[in-house]
Amino acid sequence: MVHGLLLRAPQGHPDRYESALASVDVIPLSIPVLETVLVNQTELRCIVENGPQKSDVDGVIITSARACEAWGAAVRSLGGSHPNVGKQAYLKPCWFTSFRPTHNIGWHDVPFYVVGTGTAESLSTIATHNRESPHIPHDIRGGVESGTGERLAQFIVQDASRVPTDRQGGGHRYLFLTGDKNRETLPLILSAGGISLDSLMVYETRGSSTFSANLSTSLSSVQQDKALEEWWIVYFAPSVADFVTPVLRNHFDLEMRDEHCRDESLPVNPISRPRARVACIGPTTSAFLRDTLNIRVDVVSPKPTPEALATAIKAFTEGH
């Protein structure tokens, strides 16, 4: 019996990688290795509470559903009261020194620029479930016109050029809600177009706090005779390898690339742990496992697709 451990969260029903492994007689098991958590929530709540005028921005840029989630969390924490009126006791006052002395404008008065229809729908949902809040967006732009950060940036530059600004020195300024991993394409295009950003990281990706427990539970439900079982472990990115490998070594015997470089902290007796073959999606992940973690890599998928991975594993198995 051959099992395949996919170090990723399953996507869709059925998951394409699980289906591909099953097609070559490998029983798939997917376990999420990452989790996304909201960060800087107090800072974001202050910005939302004060509104675009005191925050000195002309709009908001959101490029992911997670950033929408962060905005929604801030909106819910503030409740339905209007700015500076009847604040709940648990809210801390936030003070910003830069603001333009114009008429009082709220978030419903400024544009929210988003990537793709999915992000637009996520942002619209916030408005649907918080109708009484003064902090919900009414003007959502770019969802249909832009499916990438690059296209959104070009759309924003064109859109902003149609709107005059009374900002000293000219140019528009937008609040940009980001994660911990972002490409520089959008900021560079906006900067070239005379648009400045006030960036705030509102979410970050970490190793899953439940990975070890989930792995133990999942393995106990599928393992019967460990000595007779064969396993494939599939790594998808070097960013998670450092985090998951020490946990995996408690359950599997991962062959060293160079036994002379064995880490003294590793388990010595592999009898109770089934031996696992290692497969990678792409050469970058493979190089990290070999050169940094000293793990022997048996298969490198020639393409980052489920079919290519399954074909490569099947070819290796038939040749050994």
Which of 205, 238, 264 is the last residue before a domain boundary? Answer: 205
CATH of the domain at 168: 3.40.50.10090
Which of 159, 179, 205 is the last residue before a domain boundary? Answer: 205
pTM beyond 0.75: no
Tokens 């109770």 correspond to 272
CA–CA dist 230, 312 (Å, integer): 16
Same domain, 53 and 178: yes
CA–CA dist 94, 78 (Å, integer): 12
Same domain, 129 and 171: yes
Confidence of residue 132 (pLDDT cuts 50, 70, 90): confident
- Contact (CB, 8 A) for 220 and 10: no
Q: Classify the C-alpha dihedral 213-219-221-224 as positive or negative.
A: negative
Mean of pLDDT values over 186-199: 96
- Contact (CB, 8 A) for 177 and 135: no
Q: Which of 62, 70, 65, 69 is nearest to 43 (CA)?
A: 70
Same domain, 249 and 186: no
Same domain, 15 and 106: no
Same domain, 227 and 157: no
262-304, pLDDT tens digit by residue?
Answer: 555 555 554 578 889 999 998 999 999 999 999 999 999 999 9
- Per the structure block, which two tokens stand in for 286? 């493979």
Q: Which of 76, 67, 193, 166 is nearest to 118 (CA)?
A: 67
| Letter string b/e over residues 11-42, b meaning 16 or more CB atoms within 10 A of that residue's CB | eeeebebbebbeebebbbbbbebbebebbbee
Same domain, 261 and 183: no
- Contact (CB, 8 A) for 178 and 200: yes
73-114, pLDDT tens digit by residue?
Answer: 999 999 854 444 333 323 333 433 333 444 578 999 999 999
Same domain, 101 and 228: no
Same domain, 212 and 132: no
Same domain, 86 and 159: yes
Q: In angstroms, how far is the first alpha carbon of the chain from the final one?
A: 15
Same domain, 45 and 190: yes
Owning domain of residue 265: 2-33+208-319
Which of 205, 229, 245 is the last residue before a domain boundary? Answer: 205
Same domain, 123 and 142: yes
